[in-house]
Amino acid sequence: MAKNSVKKRAAAGNGRSAMRKKLMEAAKTAQKKAYCPYSRYPVGAAVLTESGRIYTGCNVENASFGLAICAERVAIFKAVSHGEKRIKALCVAAKSAKPCGACRQVIIEFAPKDAEMIYLDWQPLEKKEKITITTAGKLLPHAFDPSEAGL
């Protein structure tokens, strides 16, 4: 009985590892499509939804800086526009990758607190890559949580 339990956990771990890799590759691919002529700071993101589908996004800048949108929100809004409402995991790829405050609040709207968040500090020209994994609940302490507000 114990051996089967260990094998199941190992298989689940391998599946999670494969999904992380797929999510990270999707975020890297999205990063290459970023439109960032002003900051020259390309960001890519990929979200895994409850249905198992992956949606990607890249940052899109505008000469009127306030009209720019981050990669994370593009990926989440794309998923929502396809009928998805729950995020299981998100990966953001950039140099010093971390979601901004606005993105963190949007993530909280669609992801449970235990959803996996992957920061992929990816610098392809320097051939550097650092992976940090956390949860949605740790992204934004004291976040406005619609479920807690009764909404």
51 three-state secondary structure: coil
Identify whether 129 is a catalytic site residue: no
Query: Cα 37–43–49 angle (5° rounding)?
Result: 140
Tokens 């993105």 map to which residue? 103
Around Cβ 11, how many Cβ atoms within 10 Å?
Answer: 10
130 touches 121 (CB < 8 A):
yes
Residue tagged active-site, from 72, 109, 126, 148: 72
Token pair of 134, please? 């956390």
Query: Hey, which residues are catalytic here?
Result: 72
